[in-house]
Amino acid sequence: MKSYLSPSILSADFGNLTKSIKSAEDAGAEYIHFDMMDGTFVPNISFGTPIIQAVRKDLKSFFDVHMMVQEPGRYIDDVAKAGADGITIHQEACIHLDRTVNQIKEHGLKAGVALNPATPVETLDCILPMLDLVLIMTVNPGFGGQKFIPYTLDKVRLLKEKADALNLNLNIGVDGGVTLDNISSIKAAGANFFIAGSAVFKPADRIADNVRAFNELLKD
């Protein structure tokens, strides 16, 4: 499966958001990752749908929205309307995960489910064939710039085995602590979708160089 970088804007300069994302797009980023946080599911508040909507009209990339929100079903229709192309929700945040995944798909969007580091991969066995993406959190969600948790690589390997055994066209994503130094070993474990925030958007004058460096490592 082809590998993709999805730069997370959480580490971008919010005062110059469109410009920062454009630098990433112009350098070859096909995806942009939006981290919505509600201050309940995670101990931090970031932004909601107005920000997504505000930048949508000037950008052409795939909007990959990661909802770190308790009971995200309450907001999926709004996120879809704001311009998302794909929505990833957390297994831990949904009582009716099957229903909420279907809610995403009813909008014609790509559906992903994220798993916190301590949540086992097996919890998705029943719905794996419904998903476009499983996002293995490689840090505890809530903040950018944290350190990659090594045991999460075993979850990537296990998920890859399961996807291959079922012949699924499943994207396997990782989010948190992804850098130019560790991305190749994460790819070797079976991931093909890489979220990176601080390693792309910091420092702000290196965005294009960073995207190019990541894409160079990801090309097949």
**DSSP string of 192-205?**
-EEEESHHHHSSGG
Q: For ligand DX5, which stretch binds (CB under 6 A), given 4-12, 50-58, 80-88, 116-124?
A: 4-12
Give me the 17-46 binding string for Zn ion, x by CB under 5 A, dash otherwise.
------------------x-----------
Q: Which residue, 6 or 100, has its beta carbon nearer to ligand DX5?
A: 6
Contact 35, 10 (CB under 8 A): yes
* CB nearer to ligand DX5: pick between 105 and 202: 202
User: Site for ligand DX5 (CB under 6 A): which residue of 48, 72, 86, 141?
Assistant: 141
Full strand arrangement of the beta sheet holding 4-7: 4-7, 193-196, 171-175, 133-137, 110-115, 86-90, 62-68, 31-37
Question: Which residues within the stretch 157-216 sit at the binding site for ligand DX5 (CB under 6 A)?
Answer: 175-178, 195-199
In the complex, residue closest to Zn ion by CB: 66
Between the CA of residue 176 and those of 82, 104, 124, what are the distances in Å? 25, 24, 20
**Helix H or strand E encompassing 77:** helix 76-82
**Token pair 């311009």: residue:** 83
Kindly indicate which of the ranges 13-21, 71-79, 117-125, 138-146 contains the residues binding ligand DX5, using the contact rule CB under 6 A: 138-146
Two tokens, residue 48: 């909601």
Q: Residue from 73, 144, 173, 190 that binds ligand DX5 (CB under 6 A)?
A: 144
**Whose Cβ is closer to Zn ion: residue 14's or residue 161's?**
14
Q: Closest distance between ligand DX5 and the C-beta of residue 8, in Å?
A: 3
CB of 75 to Zn ion, least distance (A): 16
Contact by Cβ (8 Å): 52, 34: yes
In whole angstroms, give the CA distance from residue 170 to residue 219: 19
Give, in order, the Cα–Cα distances in Å from 106 to each of 87, 101, 111: 12, 9, 10
Which partner in ligand DX5, Zn ion, none is near 90 (CB below 5 to 8 A by kind)?
Answer: none
Q: Find where tokens 């894409």 sit.
A: 215
Q: Which is nearer to ligand DX5, 168 or 218 (CB)?
A: 218
CA distance 178 to 148: 7
Site residues (CB under 5 A) for Zn ion, limited to 140-199: 175
Q: Is 66 in the site for Zn ion (CB under 5 A)?
A: yes
Is position 142 an interface residue for ligand DX5 (rule: CB under 6 A)?
A: yes
Contacting ligand DX5 within 38-97 (CB under 6 A): 66
Residues that bind Zn ion (CB under 5 A): 35, 66, 175
